[in-house]
């Protein structure tokens, strides 16, 4: 039997990259998946097509995060589609995956207040209010999985602003894990290391070779490496894990 049969899931930022692999993984287990995206509708529709091609169920939902009214718009679309497909608006699994990063090579001296506001708006404020808004929809025994980064455990000055936001999302995990335990809802953090998200840099062999050295396994992560961990945390088999920081960095944090 599929482990997530009759479950519903929202994966933010699942038009591409890790989010797409997460959406596919959850759908493979039988969940009906909301494939959220900001701008790349074609990519989101491709994720839905891939899921349907595998025999799964999914729909796309658009909302740019980090702008006024973002979470409301996301949930309007989500609730409408859930209602149409299931007759109710119950959400069993929430994966806060969508995020933006600091531009490559930006030194700490170059970070502006506007940069920080934008990073916090998308990577912290949006997930916080998504969790808050989801509370009314989440089933008892539900799952929240927040995607952080190994960079909260590893110094990289060029990523200080981004890493600050990931530190904050780990706090959402910690405090909501306690808050939601009476309902049997688990809340966990998954922290990827460098993971092939399909962006151009992963087509450059020398760059990939260099990035691979950071992992104990001497390769960059594939989106499925991270998605499989998230998939496990979404299942009943992970019911005794809450408030955890799960290192999904291929041993990058071993140093």
Catalytic residue among 37, 75, 128, 162: 162
Q: Does 76 bind ligand NDP (CB under 6 A)?
A: no
* CB neighbourhood size of 150 (10 A): 24
Taking CB under 6 A as the criterion, the residue among 149, 163, 173, 252 binding ligand NDP is 149
* Minimum distance, C-beta of residue 80 to ligand NDP, in the bound complex (Å): 18
237: region left, alpha or beta (phi > 0 left; psi from -120 to 50 alpha) = alpha
CB 115 within 8 A of CB 66: no
Q: Does 102 interact with ligand NDP (rule: CB under 6 A)?
A: no
**Contact window for ligand NDP (CB under 6 A) among 77-85, 97-105, 177-185, 239-247:** 97-105
Based on the residue annotation, tell me whether 162 is a catalytic residue of this protein: yes
| Choices 35-43, 87-95, 178-186, 233-241 (CB under 6 A): range interacting with ligand NDP | 35-43
Residue 66 in the binding site for ligand NDP (CB under 6 A): yes
State yes or no: residue 59 binds ligand NDP (CB under 6 A). Answer: no
Closest among 114, 88, 95, 91 to 103, alpha carbons compared: 114
Q: Specify the stretch interacting with ligand NDP by CB under 6 A; choose among 31-39, 75-83, 105-113, 178-186.
A: 31-39
Helix (H) or strand (E) holding 37: strand 32-37
According to CB under 6 A, which residues from 177 to 216 bind ligand NDP?
A: 192, 194-195, 197
Which residue in 62, 21, 26, 57 sits closest to 42, CA to CA? Answer: 62
* Contact between residue 56 and residue 20 where contact means Cβ atoms under 8 Å apart: no
How far is Cα 12 from Cα 98, in angstroms, rounded to an integer?
A: 5
Collapsed DSSP state (helix, strand, coil) of residue 230: helix
Q: Is 13 in the site for ligand NDP (CB under 6 A)?
A: yes
| Residue range at the interface with ligand NDP (CB under 6 A); choices 13-21, 26-34, 153-161, 234-242 | 13-21
Total of chain residues touching ligand NDP, rule CB under 6 A: 26
8 A C-beta contact, residue 53 and residue 72: no
Build a one-symbol-per-residue string for 39-58: x at contacts with ligand NDP by CB under 6 A, - elsewhere: xx--x---------------
Residue pair 17/42 in contact by the 8 Å Cβ criterion: no
Provide the annotated active-site residues: 162
């Amino acid at each position: 039997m599929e482990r997530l049969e009759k479950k519903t899931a929202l994966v933010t930022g699942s038009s591409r990259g890790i989010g797409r692999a997460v959406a596919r993984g959850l759908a493979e287990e039988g969940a009906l998946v909301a494939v959220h995206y900001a701008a790349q509708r074609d990519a989101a529709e491709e994720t839905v097509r891939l899921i349907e091609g595998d025999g799964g169920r999914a729909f796309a939902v658009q909302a740019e995060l980090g702008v006024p009214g973002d979470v409301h718009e996301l949930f309007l679309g989500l609730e409408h589609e859930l209602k149409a497909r299931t007759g109710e608006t119950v959400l069993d699994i929430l994966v806060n995956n969508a995020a933006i990063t600091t531009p490559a090579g930006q030194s700490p001296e170059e970070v502006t207040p506007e940069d920080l506001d934008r990073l916090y708006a998308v990577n912290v404020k949006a997930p916080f209010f998504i969790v808050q808004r989801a509370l009314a929809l989440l089933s008892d025994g539900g799952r929240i999985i927040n995607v952080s980064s190994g960079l909260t455990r590893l110094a990289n000055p060029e990523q200080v602003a981004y890493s600050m936001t990931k530190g904050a999302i780990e706090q959402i995990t910690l405090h909501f894990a306690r808050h939601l335990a009476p309902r049997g809802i688990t809340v966990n953090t998954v922290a990827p290391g460098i993971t092939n998200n399909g962006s151009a840099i992963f087509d450059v062999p020398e760059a990939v070779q260099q990035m691979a050295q950071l992992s104990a396994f001497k390769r960059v992560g594939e989106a499925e490496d991270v998605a499989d961990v998230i998939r496990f945390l979404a299942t009943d088999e992970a019911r005794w894990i809450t408030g955890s920081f799960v290192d999904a960095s291929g041993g990058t944090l071993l140093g």
